[in-house]
Amino acid sequence: MAMSAADALSKDVPSHWPAGISVDVGPRIKWLPLDWGQGLKMTAGGRPYTSFVSPSGVIRYHKKDIEKELGELPDVDTGGNVLDGVGRVIRAREAPVLTRPAHWPENVRVDPANKTVWVPEGWGQGFKTTASGKDLKCYINRDGRLFYHKQDIEKFLGYELSSPGDRRSMSQRDRLKGEMMQERVQTPVVEMSGGYKLKPWRQSDDNASIDAVEGIWVVVPDDVISLDLERLGPLIVESGWTLITQDPEHWTFSGLPDLILCCNGELLVDSQDRGEAIRLGNLFVERWLGVE
């Protein structure tokens, strides 16, 4: 029996759920049927594992197992709202029709989301649809010129983009980055309690073929030697990142921060902030690797 809205709002855990499953209050998987629940079950190692509960209280852990019962699962129409594990609205989304500025290229539409904090004043943020039908995030200056990467905008402007009012020159940025990297080179591999290791990226690593610069953290999950990029990539996009490139060895994503997902099991986090790298490491291991 499907859970009513009143039941969902009156208590956290529905009565038909098995013991030991708590409600996942984060964003609900887009393909999960509305009469199913999304919860978290603690493993023997103390880590939360995403679980799906049927209307009759049966637990499933993988999309493929649910599809064996129900058939192919397309994304559920939630009216633009973001739901939690029991169908409650945690964020209402509106899709206003935004007018494209006259100086923008005709094949670019406005991004309705909040503007990325580092985008310069007077610049726009939008999406350009590629020939293959994919949306590519782009940034438009006052003259209508398109840029696709933060570093390209920085080179064009001649200063680093980090937060409003912080406009250090490129030479200052390079010097500060060098000082930070000197500290990072001395940083050993750190074993994290979340089931992964965290280390600074170096050109000599296994992922040395990637066109990246020093200043990246590498998340190395325990007991993972390869990844299915076709499976994990859409999960990262569902979490708010934009897919930029697809290579047989790695996929790159634009967001805060930018990410590189490697088929050898590693996630590269483009951030100088170790705390941010730890946050992404936890998200990678607990959520993206825990859902199929």
Domain count, the chain: 3
Residue 39 counted as domain residue: yes
Residue 173 counted as domain residue: no
Q: What is the mean pLDDT of the chain?
A: 77
Q: Give the domain extent around 14.
A: 5-91
pLDDT of residue 192: 64
Could you tell me where the beta strands, DSSP code E, fall in 35-134? 37-42, 48-53, 59-60, 82-83, 89-91, 108-110, 124-129
Query: Domain of 35: which CATH number?
Result: 3.30.890
pLDDT tens readout for residues 11-24: 478 888 988 888 88
Residue 103 counted as domain residue: yes
pLDDT tens readout for residues 47-78: 888 889 999 999 998 999 999 999 999 888 87
How far apart, in whole angstroms, are the C-alpha atoms of residue 139 and residue 127? 8
Query: Domain of 258: which CATH number?
Result: 3.30.310
Boundary residue ending a domain (69, 91, 113): 91
Q: Is the pLDDT of residue 245 over 50?
A: yes
Together in a domain, 164 and 130:
yes
Residue 177 counted as domain residue: no
pLDDT of residue 3: 42
Give the long-range contacts of residues 241-245, CB within 8 A, separation 24 or more: 242/135, 242/136, 242/137, 243/134, 244/136, 244/137, 244/148
